[in-house]
Amino acid sequence: MWAARRAGVSTAASSARHQWRSSGAAAMMGVGAGCCGGFCSSRSASAAATASAAATPPSFKLACIQLSVGVDKEANLASAKAKVAAAAAAGAELVMLPEIFNSPYSNDAFPVYAEELPPATPIEAGKSPSATMLREAAREHNIFLVGGSVPEREGDRIFNTCMVFGPTGELVAKHRKTHLFDIDIPGKMTFKESETLTGGNQLTLFEGPHGVKAGVAICYDMRFPEMAQIAQQEGARVMLYPAAFNTTTGPHHWELLQRARAIDNLIFVATASPARSESPEGYQAWGHSTVVDPWGEVVATTEHTEDIVYAQLDFGRQDEVRGQIPILTQKRTDVFSPAIHLNDEALALGKL
């Protein structure tokens, strides 16, 4: 089924795996014929909007898995695998796990649970049980699997990393959390990921079911609207955020930020959160995994316990909204420059 559908995508990890970052000198340079669809950084926002609306892809079912995560990595992976199987059995073609789904969410735990990930370390080397599970699950169920995130070790650095696997088990994208969660709200929440983690330096886009482009970012990245804007300008119809907001910021900002990103760019926005811990100790995730449509409506959500959130992504409706409120073609790029900056060196997946 997927071979025909993705024939134009899998000709290389370099095609559907656009990884880009701000790089001043590259701002108005084309990236050449190796890019999927021939996109280049000088393309205007209006041109991107026109291209994305040229052919409306069929709708597909998305599943966001809200998973309980404990101290036993093997149990976490087994639970995630079972939930992925359930989502696939329910007809989901794109399935997303939560941020840090194999480990407790703490600076103490990140180094202990960190794994060496592909492509730098091949899965066959046996250094990543998480990558092994994700690849097998995606291949077994013939789905695109957005692997939430896991702590990644590379040399003496640790990243918060999302891997995306395609229906044949290939690694189609890899995103390292770009903006680290360093906040201090006196008396309520203090957390500094930078004490342990290193931030990534790329933005990530891949082609999913039926060739639909999706952007991937992680949790705190959602607070930076440029990431979703750039993804949309490059043709993304969906933004996917594995995320673990907490019980301090979650009630105030979680849904608001998702709806803002959706309305800003007339895209679908989906989040997958860990379930809230039953223990009063440690990090408390907000939960409430959610899908928001391009009109800014919450079309699916849940509470804070384990669950799977499903939504049918209707791209015909998306094009209808884009026609009714045509902000994507009305942008005054003669007044301000669209923020599209590509990192040529990172275009090929093997160069991450």
Which residues are identified as catalytic? Answer: 99, 177, 219
CA distance 321 to 332: 20
Torsion sign, CA atoms 285, 274, 20, 295: negative
DSSP secondary-structure letter at 57? P
Q: What is the CA radius of gyration of the chain?
A: 19
Beta-strand runs (E) in 166-218 = 171-176, 182-185, 189-192, 203-207, 213-216
Q: Which residue has the tokens 């949790």?
A: 219
- Scan for tokens 């950084």, then name that residue: 41
Contact 237, 267 (CB under 8 A): yes
Q: Which of 283, 266, 279 is nearest to 331 (CA)?
A: 266
The one-letter amino acid at 317 = R
Q: Kindly state the greatest CA–CA separation across the chain.
A: 56
Instruction: Give the helix/strand (H/E) hosting 269.
Output: strand 268-272
Torsion sign across C-alpha atoms 310, 316, 317, 323: positive
Question: CA 144 to CA 281: how far, in whole Å?
Answer: 34
Q: Which residues of 217-244 are buried (b: 16+ CB within 10 A; e: fewer)?
A: bbbbbbeeeebbbbbbbbbbbbbbbbbb
Angle of CA points 173, 177, 181, to nearest 5°: 165
Q: State the sign of the Cα–Cα–Cα–Cα dihedral 219, 222, 226, 231.
A: positive
Closest CA to 180 of 160, 163, 164, 162: 160
